[in-house]
Structure 1
């Protein structure tokens, strides 16, 4: 069994590297995901990947999402809370309506069409899918993957070559961690593990997503300087999450997967153009540029949208604040409400 873990990990890492060299979006998540699917469907070999390893990766990614929540970003969130709520509700409504329509065309069912269209993270939605009865993780992952790939390609293209006045390449300065930063990371890790254990005892949902994000954000708000993680650590976390996502997917059971992918591609493209119109309207009502409003509303990952904002000379703190607010709103409000709606619908059918 351990040899099988090592084999799939090495193949997944190699595919992640290939995706990275080809400059494909989210290479260290989508590369392993694709490799795990190929391992199952082409080689006809089972993929065993423990949830515990995936959960450790989720904690690392949650730390990354919570670490930008500095006091200045928190202050901005409070000042612009009504605008953020309006923009977030607009985006989620557009996504759910178009998801419902695509669900009617593809016949994947209400549960899958709603969860698959929620603009949360690819890995977060796959974990949430496990907790909602009546959902098919293969369908949800396919829908979310189509959304992520389309957004990661289209939003930077439109922002950098259509909306930005003076786009400049973003530069990332990577510095080796110093000893006090390593000690700080160990301390934060211990705190997050304790919080996760407490949350587990009181039976909270989505703890491996929610607790690292909120816990890290709370620590940063107290004045703690959360060190940036080395790139290999971030890549490793994405690999172990991507493998688990791929191992849970069984496209062989989806006879109409091509139809689902095509309809959702058209759906996501329509969402992006709806957002363009909404962002243009918001930029004339509220004090923000068109490109900042567009990237802030874009249903992509926070790190990818932040990098796009840097390249397009958009207001980076605003983009980070809006993306983080949407993530927390989805986890704390949207997912529980959607779960309740699905449960209510299932009771009616029963």
Structure 2
């Protein structure tokens, strides 16, 4: 490993460990991201972290996001497809609408504001930004980071201490090591994902390291093949690989108004969450689903964080996973391509 890469990796791992000790959200992504920003931007040090390593991390994270797509989840999506589509469109419309308002006060450009407001995942939107003309990775990463941190702190607080009638402690299942007998199955998943990536490259499809791992894994689990649970250190390592690159891509030197962007984006995210409270309450009155289940299902947060919140709040776990996974796939396969096309065709005044 390159000396500069080794230094930033050690610092990033230390940042992830510190964030974990402090019980901060997404510690192994936001910790390395923060350390990379401090090292490169604030201290002015030279850092090197190739995109190839970031892409390796994305494959692992994509595998994790696609693994819940079992046959039962697929059946639930099929049964509630119209409602899932409606709620997803409402959420995206709220996010894009508040993003448009944020651009009016920050002048960051509508392309940055739209991509930065799409609730498609911190690492995924940063990668997509690289492939969209007229956007800044620094601005989009900053906006997505503010969104994720706000959602991860606010939604569990509202769900567990404001909506849920009964709360139980819960923890996501993690393993420190993997059963070696699962390695052949894991190899099948990896081979499928790499085949998807190779095919997507030939077809000149964008966002391949975001979409291909999710789709490849989802198709195999849908066929009945159980996705092995990855050891916790592997998952943490993947997040470090992604977090480092995201932090190095942020350049506050080019963002004279980064404080203003952060504050306004914070208020727009809070506005979306409050509006979703109303939407989810109306949804719970019309359909046979609890208020807390509807709220967590629609929340624009990470799947793992929302799943943990659902377990603790005694919400309907399969419903939450189904809605969150459908939203992720819809954003990656429909929302982002359409938004990029509109931006590139200059149908917006950017």
TM-score bin (small chain): over 0.9
Question: What secondary structure does 2:82 align onto?
Answer: helix
Give the CA deviation at 1:196.
0.8
Instruction: Return the offset for 1:194.
Output: 1.8
Greater CA drift, 271-280 or 162-171: 162-171
C-alpha offsets along residues 85-118 of structure 1, whole Å, 9 cap, x if unaligned?
0100000000000000001110001100100000
CA distance in 1, matches of 2:236, 2:256: 33
Quick one: distance in 2 between partners of 1:177 and 1:248? 33
In structure 1, distance between residues paired with 2:173 and 2:251: 40
Give the match for residue 46 of structure 2. 46
1:142-195 superposed Cα distances (whole Å, 9 cap, x missing partner): 111000000000000000001111111113444442222122112211221122
Q: CA RMSD of the aligned region, Å? A: 1.2
Distance verdict in 2 for CA 1:186–1:42, change over 3 Å: same
User: Could you state the TM-score of these two structures normalised by the residue count of structure 1?
Assistant: 0.97
Q: How far apart in 1 are the matches of 2:236 and 2:225?
A: 24
1:227 matched residue in structure 2: 228
Q: d(CA) in 2 for partners of 1:50 and 1:102? A: 32
Mapping for residues 254-265 of structure 1, pairs under 5 Å: 254-265=255-266
Contact map agreement 2:342 2:348 (CA 8 A) in 1? no
Retained in 1: the 8 A contact 2:293–2:319? yes
The alpha carbon displacement at 1:74 in A equals 0.4
Determine if the alignment matches structure 1 residue 245 to structure 2 residue 208.
Answer: no
Distance 1:207 1:340 in 2: 17
Q: Take 1:177 and 1:292, find their aligned partners in 2: how far apart are those partners?
A: 32
Alpha-carbon separation, structure 2, partners of 1:314 and 1:215 = 28
Pair 1:331 & 2:332 matched: yes
Counterpart in the other structure of 1:314: 315
Structure 2 stretches lacking a partner, 5+ long: none
What is the correspondence of 1:106-121 to structure 2 with a 5 Å cutoff? 106-121=106-121
Q: Compared with structure 1, are the counterparts of its residues 87 and 14 closer, same or farther at alpha carbon in structure 2 (3 Å cutoff)?
A: same
What residue is the counterpart of 1:283 in the other structure? 284
**SS of residue matched to 2:345:** helix
Aligned residue pairs total: 349
Point out 4+ residue stretches in structure 1 off by more than 6 angstroms: 346-349
Structure 1 pair 258–173 and aligned structure 2 pair: CA distance change class (3 A)? closer
